[in-house]
Every structure is written in structure tokens, then in C-alpha cells.
């Protein structure tokens, strides 16, 4: 299946380590990029069924992600409860990656995985611990201005009933997320004028 020194086999070994410790991905980005440049298959899965691109969309930098897409990453693939746009919305550089996927690759801003618990990209960007306030605000506005449906009802992890992004923002659980509330209200006000 793999030849001696095969870059895909080496990438698979790295991905198996990254699936156990996602921080290892960031530490290994130079090795990963060399393997991809050497012809490694960017659409491989780890032994635990974690996709390389699933890890990449959350942990890689923007330039690396663009490279993986150029090398044939399957942007229509669905990962466990997710897809590339939902994963990209969790990335620290979501303010660059999300617009790139939407504008250059026609990613669906309202995608919800049929078995998912992540909601849509609006939910992901607002709940990610990897995203700082400026990136979250920029990405949130981008998604809203590009048709993300804030009334779309989704079932989120730890929720019993379907809830829309608008309802979520207005709930007590979001009372401490002032940047999200302010950005969303500013968007709504701009639409009513």
C-alpha cells in the first residue's frame, strides 16, 4: 500500500499522534507541510477515524490550510458531526479561513451536519475557545452579511430543544458574551435601517 519513505505513511503516523494530542499538530506544522509538499495525501484518516483536514481546519494556520486545499483537500467531506466550514469557524484564524472558504470555494454558511451537535458556523465561531474577540467579531459579521440564517433552529450539544442563534444570543447563557451580543445587535440594527 505505501512505499518505503512514503510521505502519506509518514503523515499518517503524525496524524495518529495529533489525534491523541491536538497541540502536537501545531508543533509539527513544518514537518506536516514538508510531507504535503512531498505528495502526502491530505484526505487521509487516522486510525481513530479522525481526518487530517479535520485537525488542520482547527489547528493549522491560514497559509497551510490554503496549501492543503490546493493539494486536493476534499471540501465536501463531512467529519464526525462537522464539515470544513464548521471546523474553520473554530480556528484562531477564522477571520481569514471562513471568508476564504465562502468566497473562493462556495462553502454553505448555513450548513448543519445531519447528526451534528455543533449547530452552524455562527454557533461554532461564538463557542470556540481558540478564537479571540476581534477574530470572532469579524467572522460573525462576515457570516451574517453573507446570509447566515440566525433564525435557523439547530440542536446543540447539552441542549434538549432546537434553538436558533438569535435565541441563543438572547439567552441567559450568553449574558457574559458582550462582544457577541453587541455585534449581533449592531448587525440587526443595520438591517432595520
Domain boundaries, the chain: 1-74, 82-193
Contacts of 66 (CB under 8 A, 6+ apart): 100
- Residue 39: pLDDT band (50, 70, 90) is very high
The pLDDT of 13-20, averaged and rounded, is 81
Give the integer Cα–Cα distance in Å for 178 and 143.
Answer: 18
Q: What is the pLDDT of residues 114-129, one digit of tens each?
A: 776 678 899 889 888 8
Give the integer Cα–Cα distance in Å for 185 and 44.
Answer: 41
- Whether 106 has a pLDDT exceeding 80, the answer reads yes
Q: What is the pLDDT of residues 131-187, one digit of tens each?
A: 899 999 999 999 999 999 999 988 776 667 788 889 888 887 777 788 888 999 899
Looking at per-residue pLDDT, the higher value among 109 and 58 belongs to 109
- Partner residues linked to 153 by β-bridges: 164
Q: How far is CA 95 from CA 14, 59, 115, 122, in A?
A: 27, 14, 26, 12
Terminal Cα-to-Cα distance of the chain (whole angstroms): 61
Q: Which CATH class is domain 82-193?
A: mainly alpha
Give the integer Cα–Cα distance in Å for 142 and 144.
Answer: 6
14 neighbors 26 (Cβ within 8 angstroms): no
Give the integer Cα–Cα distance in Å for 89 and 102.
Answer: 11
Residue found under cell 473554530: 90
- Partner residues linked to 79 by β-bridges: 82
Give the integer Cα–Cα distance in Å for 28 and 92.
Answer: 17
Nearest alpha carbon to residue 54 among 37, 28, 71, 74: 74
Q: What is the pLDDT of residues 55-83, one digit of tens each?
A: 888 788 898 889 888 888 888 777 666 78
- Whether 1 has a pLDDT exceeding 50, the answer reads no
Counting beta carbons within 10 angstroms of the beta carbon of residue 4, is it exposed (0 to 12), middle (13 to 18) or buried (19 or more)?
exposed
Amino acid at each position: 500500500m505505501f512505499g518505503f519513505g512514503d510521505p502519506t505513511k509518514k503523515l499518517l503516523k503524525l496524524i495518529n499522534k495529533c489525534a491523541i494530542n491536538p497541540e502536537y499538530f501545531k508543533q509539527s506544522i513544518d514537518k506536516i507541510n514538508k510531507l504535503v509538499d512531498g505528495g502526502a495525501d491530505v484526505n487521509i484518516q487516522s486510525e481513530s477515524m479522525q481526518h487530517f483536514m479535520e485537525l488542520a481546519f482547527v489547528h493549522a494556520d491560514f497559509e497551510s490550510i490554503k496549501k492543503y486545499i490546493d493539494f486536493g483537500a476534499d471540501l465536501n467531506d463531512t467529519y464526525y458531526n462537522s464539515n470544513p466550514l464548521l471546523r474553520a469557524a473554530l480556528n484562531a484564524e477564522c477571520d481569514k479561513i471562513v471568508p476564504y472558504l465562502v468566497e473562493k470555494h462556495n462553502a454553505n454558511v448555513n450548513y448543519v451536519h445531519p447528526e451534528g451537535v455543533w449547530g452552524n458556523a455562527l454557533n461554532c465561531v461564538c463557542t470556540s475557545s481558540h478564537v479571540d474577540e476581534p477574530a470572532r467579531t469579524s467572522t460573525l459579521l462576515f457570516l451574517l452579511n453573507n446570509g447566515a440564517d440566525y433564525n435557523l433552529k439547530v440542536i446543540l450539544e447539552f441542549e434538549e430543544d432546537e434553538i436558533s442563534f438569535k435565541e441563543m444570543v438572547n439567552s441567559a447563557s450568553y449574558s457574559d458574551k458582550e462582544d457577541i451580543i453587541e455585534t449581533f445587535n449592531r448587525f440587526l440594527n443595520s438591517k432595520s435601517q
